[in-house]
A and B are shown apart, each in its own frame.
Chain A
Amino acid sequence: MKILVAEDEPIMLKTIALRLRKDGYDVITVADGREAIEQIEEQNPDLIITDIMMPYSSGLEIVGKVKASGQRNVPVIVLSAMGQENVVVEAFNLGADDYITKPFSPNELSMRVKRLAKTA
């Protein structure tokens, strides 16, 4: 299973990628929104994990584009900071499948990915 992780904080990006690789997933990492959109089109991931606040294109734009395209069945998990409840609601309105609030445990993210991977 191919997972795309979009996160602009290098340590977070590497940690998430490492944790998911440990679980046996094929992980593509990108550090900004524009690159994320390009990679989604090129690589056709089976699941997307995206931070909300990112350079060039926000996580919301990514959710919107994915859910409005032919990849609308690809599950999207949104990473949000505390106090961004309104943004999370907006992400759900756009079609996001799950969200996780920072600070979060990589193990918790791994469990959520496993759950969504079953339905993907």
Chain B
Amino acid sequence: MQPGLVFNYITLYLLDAVVDPLQLLAVTLFFVCIIAGVVLFILFYLIRRTGRSMRRRSLREQYSNCISELAVCETDEELQSFLQQPDTQRITRLLEHEAFSRRVIITELLKTVKNMSGNAATNVCWFYEQANLQHDSLLRLQNGAWHVKARAIQELSGLRQNKYITKIYRHTNNANELVRNEARTAVVKLTGFEGLRFLDVATYPLTEWQQLCLLYELSLHSNRSFEGVQRWLQSSNSSVTEFALRLVEVYHLHACFSTVTSCLKHAAKPVRKKALAALKEIYDPAINEILVAMFPAEDADVQILILQMLKEFGTEEEQAFLLQQLLHEQQEIKVAAARAVYYTQPDAESLLRQRVQTDTYPWNVLLVQLKQEVLL
């Protein structure tokens, strides 16, 4: 007898003995139904998705013609005649009745404003209001999903809806990081330095990325106002203090010197590091003594920053301190101190030769390198 037949006999015997054939049929049918259901669902989903993406493509095509015509309008008369065009009226009617169309056109308008400035951008924002599209964005701002809310904030700020600033402002301290980041960037984008007032009440931290985004948005505004900086430097939120220090650094706010100096005693190390960076930009000779005094209690990375500052601003008064650091146990600090001596002290080379063994590592390499640096 063949082994295949034996196997079949055994299987049938076991099935007869253990499972009722009717039960087996019912279970099989049940699983077949589930699989068919899943397949049908996937099919339905794919058809719907393809349909939507085809519809989106076709709407984009229609809108791109309309938006480009809108963008090149130069006078009010041209804008009014654009609104009267049959194509524009057809699109406006479509926008009144179909939420999907409104979503697509808002995305296209936003994209256009990001790429164009001047009259073209103004016309696009004007059309956004004319077609009442801001109501869609405002509705989405009330949505519970964070990504919908964040997108709505982007739309309102990108399309220059300054009149809704208070609605956006409410989200600057939102529990969701992405929503509050969008809201913070939006208020600064819309109102410039004035928008920074959210720092007074910010309890959540500002990430490094957020700080850079805010600085970028501020750089696009010419009406500068630094009224709150002193307050923010003393904020209980250390990330707000860090950001205020960045403002001092970027905009050279000399009036904040004493408050920045007090930040050198801040409990958070990132704040102390940012304070050193800010002081570099608003330097005052009085700071050298403070730097020398704070040096022993600091971590190595902050000590290196202090030595880097003294490399730029050190005087003969710091000579003893700098020479003492040449004997520090950490190599990086020795090197930073040697560099500071070389750059700031008169007759530095002979000073270094008296203090260190010039024929041993790292001094044999370092002295040659420093000489080259200074010559360059």
User: Chain A: residues with CB nearer than 8 A to chain B?
Assistant: 9-12, 14-15, 17-19, 22, 102-108
Q: If the complex has contacts A15-B71, A15-B72, are A106 and B120 also in contact, measured as CB distance less than 8 A? A: yes
**Total inter-chain residue pairs, C-beta < 8 Å:** 64
Specify which chain B residues have a CB less than 8 angstroms from the CB of A103 in the assembled complex: 113-117, 121
Q: Is the CB of B60 within 8 A of A15?
A: no
Q: Is the CB of B120 within 8 A of A15?
A: yes
B138 to chain A, nearest CB (A): 24
A100 to chain B, nearest CB (A): 11
Q: Would you mind naming 12 contact pairs between A and B with Cβ atoms under 8 Å apart?
A: A10-B60, A11-B68, A15-B68, A15-B120, A102-B115, A102-B116, A103-B113, A103-B116, A103-B121, A104-B116, A105-B119, A106-B119
Complex Cα–Cα for A107 and B120 (A): 9
Residues of A contacting B: mostly:
helix
Does B64 have its Cβ within 8 Å of any Cβ on chain A? yes
User: Chain B: residues with CB nearer than 8 A to chain A?
Assistant: 60-61, 63-65, 67-69, 71-72, 74, 108, 111-121
Q: If the complex has contacts A10-B64, A11-B67, A11-B112, are A18 and B119 also in contact, measured as CB distance less than 8 A? A: no
Complex Cα–Cα for A102 and B112 (A): 10
Q: Is the CB of B68 within 8 A of A105?
A: no
A83 to chain B, nearest CB (A): 9
Most chain B CB within a 10 A radius of its CB, from A12, A18, A104: A12
B121 to chain A: closest residue by CB: A103
A101 to chain B: closest residue by CB: B117
Q: Is the CB of B112 within 8 A of A18?
A: no
Specify which chain B residues have a CB less than 8 angstroms from the CB of A12 in the assembled complex: 112, 115-116
